[in-house]
């Protein structure tokens, strides 16, 4: 359990970071959030926050869409986060959860003319998808459309869609799902982006496919190109392309890179973790812990040295 939170402009004991049942965001899901990971590097005895600036830039974009005014800049949010982590004193992998939300207590669905608030907590965190190799189904649900709830904004209320998708998959015996858009093309997982490999190239749905524009997705595209010489094509993916792909994997802050070895009861490629996914996973786990000089600028150290 975390000991502290940043709440109403200050650090408070976590027990004091409470909202009323009348809070707008609790009633209507009018908030947005981020999920950020910090990784413990044992040799350096240092905690590194991964791509923190980019996460807070995305939070600002989500806030813009939801008309939430965030009183802190990207840099200030980073400073608050580092201070919180220092107070907690974590020496293990950590998950950081910033929330920006409509805090007015009262009735009335809208975005305008409401009070906004920001809160932050961080807790120790291991794997998100338990299994090393995941089995997926194509969800019977469809992904929320930009014309209804913008997927590019990480909106709290929109996660009802993710929750329906995830629970259906798990109760039906799968580890995760892949969800299609209204037009029947692949969008993403319940909380992850999706990549497939065909003819040795990476393919992932475009940012117009109602995906959350993932930072792990961007990281994977960059390291695949720069370190493995593999380009990623962003284009629509048919459902049945999933069945004939050589490899498939999820990417996400929580899920990191998780191979998908079976989709709708059909083995993906050999039915085992593929070589490209394996290489990317090895690289990713070094990069996030600050062990690759070239990408060290993505890692913010928490403790003074």
Active site residues: 154
- φ, ψ of residue 122 in degrees (nearest 5): -145, 140
Member of 217, 237, 295, 302 binding ligand PY5 (CB under 6 A): 217
Q: Which of 2, 28, 209 is nearest to 92 (CA)?
A: 2
Answer yes or no whether residue 139 interacts with ligand PY5 by CB under 6 A: no
Residues in 13-42 that interact with ligand PY5 by CB under 6 A = 35
**How is residue 144 written in tokens?**
């929320």
Taking the least distance from each CB to ligand PY5, the nearer of 30 and 216 is: 216
**Interactions with ligand PY5, residue window 233-262 (CB under 6 A):** 251-255
Quick one: how many helices (H) and strands (E) in the chain? Answer: 7, 17
Closest CA relative to residue 100, chosen from 26, 3, 34 = 34
Q: Pick the piece of the chain touching ligand PY5 (CB under 6 A) from 23-31, 108-116, 119-127, 207-215.
A: 207-215
- Please state, in angstroms and rounded to a whole number, the distance separating the CA atoms of residues 189 and 202: 17
Total site size for ligand PY5, rule CB under 6 A: 16
181 binds ligand PY5 (CB under 6 A): no
The minimum distance between CB 191 and ligand PY5, in angstroms, equals 3
Range in contact with ligand PY5 (rule: CB under 6 A) among 133-141, 191-199, 230-238, 270-278: 191-199
Query: CA–CA separation, 281 vs 274, rounded Å?
Result: 11
DSSP β-bridge partners for residue 6:
11, 120
Give the C-alpha separation, 217 to 94, whole Å: 20
Task: State yes or no: residue 49 binds ligand PY5 (CB under 6 A).
Answer: no
191 lies in the binding site for ligand PY5 (CB under 6 A): yes
Q: Which is nearer to ligand PY5, 37 or 114 (CB)?
A: 37
Q: 138-176: b or e for each residue (b if 16 or more CB lie within 10 Å)?
A: bbebbbbeeeebbbbbbbbbbbebbebbbebbeeeebbb
Q: Which two tokens stand for residue 6?
A: 């940043």
Sole window of 65-73, 208-216, 236-244, 294-302 interacting with ligand PY5 (rule: CB under 6 A): 208-216
List beta partners, residue 202.
Answer: 197, 232
Binding status of residue 214 toward ligand PY5 by CB under 6 A: yes
Q: What's the DSSP call for residue 68?
A: -
Which of 77, 129, 153, 212 is close enough to bind ligand PY5 by CB under 6 A?
212
Instruction: List interacting residues with ligand PY5 (CB under 6 A).
Output: 35, 162, 188, 191-193, 212, 214-217, 251-255
């Amino acid at each position: 359990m975390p000991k502290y939170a940043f709440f109403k402009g200050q650090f408070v004991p976590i027990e004091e970071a409470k909202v009323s049942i009348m809070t707008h965001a609790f009633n209507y899901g009018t908030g947005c959030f981020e999920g950020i990971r910090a990784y413990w590097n044992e040799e350096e005895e240092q905690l590194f926050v991964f791509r923190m600036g980019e996460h807070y830039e995305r939070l600002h974009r989500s806030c813009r869409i939801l008309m939430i005014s965030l009183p802190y800049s990207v840099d200030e949010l980073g400073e608050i986060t580092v201070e919180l982590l220092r107070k907690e004193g974590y020496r293990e992998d950590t998950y950081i959860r910033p929330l920006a939300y409509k805090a007015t207590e009262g009735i009335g669905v809208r975005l305008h003319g409401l009070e906004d608030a920001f809160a932050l907590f961080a807790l120790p965190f291991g794997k998100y998808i338990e299994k090393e190799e995941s089995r997926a189904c194509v969800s019977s649900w469809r992904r929320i459309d930009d014309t209804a709830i913008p997927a590019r904004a990480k909106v709290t209320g929109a996660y009802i869609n993710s929750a329906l998708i995830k629970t259906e998959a798990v109760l039906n015996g799968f580890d995760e799902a892949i969800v299609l858009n209204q037009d029947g093309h692949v969008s993403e997982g319940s909380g992850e982006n999706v990549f497939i490999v065909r003819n040795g190239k990476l393919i992932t749905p475009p940012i117009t496919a109602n995906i959350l524009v993932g930072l792990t997705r961007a990281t994977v595209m960059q390291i695949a190109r720069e370190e493995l010489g593999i380009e990623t094509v962003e284009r629509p993916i048919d459902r049945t392309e999933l069945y004939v792909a050589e490899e498939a994997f999820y990417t996400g802050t929580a899920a990191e890179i998780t191979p998908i070895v079976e989709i709708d009861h059909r083995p993906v490629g050999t039915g085992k973790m593929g070589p490209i996914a394996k290489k990317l996973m090895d690289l990713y786990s070094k990069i996030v812990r600050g062990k690759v000089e070239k990408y060290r600028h993505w890692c913010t150290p928490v403790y003074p040295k």
